[in-house]
Chains A and B, each alone.
Chain A
Amino acid sequence: DGGITQSPKYLFRKEGQNVTLSCEQNLNHDAMYWYRQDPGQGLRLIYYSQIVNDFQKGDIAEGYSVSREKKESFPLTVTSAQKNPTAFYLCASSQQFPGEGYTFGSGTRLTVV
């Protein structure tokens, strides 16, 4: 079945470390997105990519980096510059037609220890 796979489901990071969250899709979607979710704050867009080798900053890109070398993959790196990285991270993808909406992965919960 087609879908989006995020890994790992739970991730623990020491302060000062970079970590990379994986997002892979087999839906043949062109666009991919990363969101951060904190309690009571809804979804906040970190980065998005509409085509391979191109991506744009979202509303809260500081302290994060991404790459889009393959259509299927859109990894997110949480760098040591992100001061409060503990959150639930969601990856999504979409087709060109906006009426299809987004398909989401199951999320990665990152905790700084």
Chain B
Amino acid sequence: AQSVTQLDSQVPVFEEAPVELRCNYSSSVSVYLFWYVQYPNQGLQLLLKYLSGSTLVKGINGFEAEFNKSQTSFHLRKPSVHISDTAEYFCAVIRMNRDDKIIFGKGTRLHILP
């Protein structure tokens, strides 16, 4: 079975500073990887996804993530955060070519400090 670990439950960062949200996964087979964002009292919105090809994936709102197969990681980064990035971020994984469900991490709450 696959699993997803988000290493930080909360990350405080000053506005305009860079941020990295960490995600590690475990799976015995190849997977697709996702990052979702959830603003307060809203549903989840897809930020970016890794299917294949280039290991650096760019998403919406200036976010990017890097797939590292050897370290089984898919960390999310942004070079300069804005107050509007305040949200909860979920890493997720699903096995390729399987009739399966997405497994979500427990989320990382990003706090932007003025």
Q: A and B from one assembly?
A: yes
Structural contact, A99 and B32, CB atoms closer than 8 A:
yes
Q: Are A42 and B107 closer than 8 Å at their CB atoms?
A: yes
- Cβ–Cβ contact A42 & B46, under 8 A: no
User: How large, as a class, is the contact surface on chain B?
Assistant: 20 to 34
Q: Give bound CA distance, A48 to B99, whole Å.
A: 13
Q: Which residue of B lies closest to A107 (CB)?
A: B43
Residues of B within 8 A of A (CB): 9, 32, 34, 36, 41-46, 49, 51, 90, 92, 94-102, 104-107
Q: Can you give 10 contacting A-B residue pairs, CB < 8 Å?
A: A41-B106, A42-B104, A45-B101, A88-B41, A94-B102, A99-B51, A99-B96, A101-B34, A101-B36, A101-B46
Query: Contact partner of A42 among B32, B51, B90, B94, CB < 8 A?
Result: B90
CB within 8 Å of B: which A17-48 residues: 33, 40-43, 45, 48
Q: Number of contacting residues on A, CB 8 A?
A: 24
Q: A98-B96, A99-B51 are in contact. Are A104 and B45 (CB under 8 A)?
A: yes
Q: Does A55 contact B (CB under 8 A)?
A: no
The interface residues of chain A lying within 8 Å CB-to-CB of B100 are: 98
Of B36, B51, B101, B107, the residue contacting A48 (CB under 8 A) is: B101
| A43: B residues at CB distance < 8 A | 90, 104
Residues of A57-113 whose CB lies within 8 A of B: 88, 90, 92, 94, 98-99, 101-107, 109
